[in-house]
Amino acid sequence: MRHLRTLRHRRLIEEIAAARQAAGISQRALAAKLKRSESYISKFEAGERRLEVCELLDLCAAIGADPLALLGRVLQKRQ
């Protein structure tokens, strides 16, 4: 999966992790909210796993982040 190594993917991961941390939510707590394992969270934050669009939307809802704003920040960093 070549896209897991791209700069854009790393920026997306950074934005997700920053949004989670800004919300004061640990990986463990986020995993519990999503009814997933903690390794599910740690793997995509480590860049070992990709997220589907619906998973990203669920994650954003769980941490109270606006998915459009999050993606906008990823796109802005490209410039």
**Mean pLDDT computed over 10-24:** 95
Domain that holds residue 25: 2-77
Q: Give residue-wise pLDDT tens across range 18-33.
A: 999 999 999 999 999 9
Which pLDDT does position 2 carry in this prediction?
A: 57
The CATH number for 60's domain is: 1.10.260.40
Q: Give residue-wise pLDDT tens across range 24-79.
A: 999 999 999 999 999 999 999 998 888 999 999 999 999 999 999 999 999 997 65
> Cα–Cα distance between 55 and 60 in angstroms, integer?
9
Number of domains the chain contains? 1
Which pLDDT does position 3 carry in this prediction?
A: 59
Single pTM value for the model: 0.86
Spell out the residues 6+ positions from residue 56 whose beta carbon is closer than 8 angstroms to its own: 16, 67
